[in-house]
Amino acid sequence: MASKTLLCLGGAQHQVTAIETAKRLGVRTVLCDYLPDNPGQHVADRFYLKSTTDFDEMLQVARDERVDGVISFGSDAAAPIAAKVCEELGLPTNPYQSVLTLSEKYLFRDYLRDHGFNCPAHVSFPSTVTPAQLVDLLDGAGVRVPLLLKPTDSSGSKGVTVLRQLGHDRLEAALDYAREYSRNGTLIAEEFIEAEYPHVIGGDIFVAKGEVRFWGLMDCLRDEAANGLVPVGKAYPCGLGDERRRRLQDEVNRLVQSLGLSFGEMNLEVIVARGGVPYIVELGGRAGGNLIPAQLTQVSGIDLVEACVRYALGDESMDVSFDGGGRCVASYVLHPTGKAGTFQGVSIDPCIRDNVMRVQYYQPMGTPVQWLVNSGQTLGVVFLEFGRPEVMRETMARIGELVSAKVE
């Protein structure tokens, strides 16, 4: 791998690990990021201050640097650009159209519906619609409350509102919030899926040679005190029974093969509805955030970041086979809980201090914070380990009482 060059789209803190891993493997790294203060520039061999969502710019950099692969580690926005550049240059990639479909919620929902996958009733529309026009659109598409209104190109619950009634003021506020996080100007409304299993099943999978070989299925924890949508942690292993797990895996594999996906780490969210019916809510064409790859690497002993780098460069020799087992680990996202102020660190109850492995801060002490609304306000992540799954689940059910961000 020493003679290879990898183009990395994005140099945020959670993406630095991909650059570091590539360099450890002897790979020359070229980084593009539109932010002048991104931390990745201090690690990469070459840095360009350019937008990773500008296809022409990224293609030119890839040509100039004669790269052997392109990676968009943990970034939804840049994933389609990476695939399109690779297709143009004949580099390893998943199909551009499939990656684009995974990156845009309205394309993904339409794909699920049109290809026989479980999918909620939904309708997409321009962000310029008025509340009155939206009511007509919902009626025409048969979308009933409760429903979710959200951007089609955001992640981490940004811009998402649950609507249980269609009053003018409530619709206007939901539209304004979704517009704030919409880059492409397209919003979507979809019926709320009533879950049988109490947690969204999340985590990451890894596809090799067109089949899911790595299953890192985790319970997703949400903050009910905020809006019930914000992801605030993960727990592995998930508590799904064997039969429902197999049904979920079959559905995900069917989707992977339908889309023609050949390789890579992908972030997954599935709701298990009544009767054990799996609804694939998200299949992101990139690794998960909040250090999910690191957590699953710890569980499985398989370095997922290294696998991402190797496969992006065309080296598919690394075995990523994993279907459960290993340790019981969990994460809890530090966020403001109840008052605005400045971030002063983390408070951990003595009863679980021995379970805490490490704390990863995303913001320095003294950072101004406000009440949690979406995952963009993350202050850091606390990583925990437990001896038994049942102890982990009992503890994580009240983790908000045991671990909190200090805000003064």
The domains of the chain are located at 5-93, 121-191, 194-324, 327-408
DSSP state of 366: T
Q: Would you call 304 helix, strand, or coil by DSSP? A: helix
Contacts of 172 (CB under 8 A, 6+ apart): 131
Matching fold, domains 121-191 and 194-324: no
When the candidates are 3.30.470.20, 2.60.40.10, 3.10.310.30, 3.90.280.10, the CATH number that belongs to 194-324 is: 3.30.470.20
Burial of 36 (0-12, 13-18, 19+ CB in 10 A): exposed
The pLDDT score that the predictor gives to residue 227 is: 56
The pLDDT score that the predictor gives to residue 1 is: 73
The pLDDT score that the predictor gives to residue 42 is: 98
Contacts of 110 (CB under 8 A, 6+ apart): 124
Helix (H) or strand (E) holding 341: strand 341-348
Give the 3-state DSSP-derived string for 39-85, with helices as H, strands as E and coil as C. Answer: HHHHCCCEEEECCCCCHHHHHHHHHHHCCCEEECCCCCCCHHHHHHH
Q: How far apart are CA 183 and CA 160, in angstroms?
A: 14
Cis peptide before 278 (omega within 30 of 0): no
CA dist 75 to 17, 70, 71, 155, 225, Å?
Answer: 13, 12, 9, 9, 27
Helix then strand count (H, E) for the chain reads 12, 19
Is 3.50.50.60 the CATH classification of the domain at 5-93? no
- In contact, 85 and 12? CB cutoff 8 Å: no
**Superfamily the domain 327-408 falls into:** ATP-grasp fold, B domain (3.30.470.20)
The pLDDT score that the predictor gives to residue 224 is: 65
Strand bridging mode 28-33 / 5-9: parallel
The pLDDT score that the predictor gives to residue 326 is: 81
Whole-structure pTM value: 0.90
- From the CB of residue 109, how many other CB atoms can be counted at a distance below 10 Å? 22
Strand bridging mode 231-236 / 328-334: antiparallel
Model pLDDT for residues 319-328, shown as the tens digit of each residue: 999 998 889 9
CA gyration radius, the chain = 21
Specify the CATH number of the domain 121-191: 3.30.1490.20
DSSP state of 193: P
Identify the segments of the chain with pLDDT beneath 70.
156, 224-229, 337-338, 371-377
Q: How far apart are CA 376 and CA 387, in angstroms?
A: 32
Q: How far apart are CA 141 and CA 123, in angstroms?
A: 6
The pLDDT score that the predictor gives to residue 377 is: 67
- In contact, 262 and 210? CB cutoff 8 Å: yes
CA dist 248 to 117, 244, 321, 362, Å?
Answer: 12, 6, 18, 33
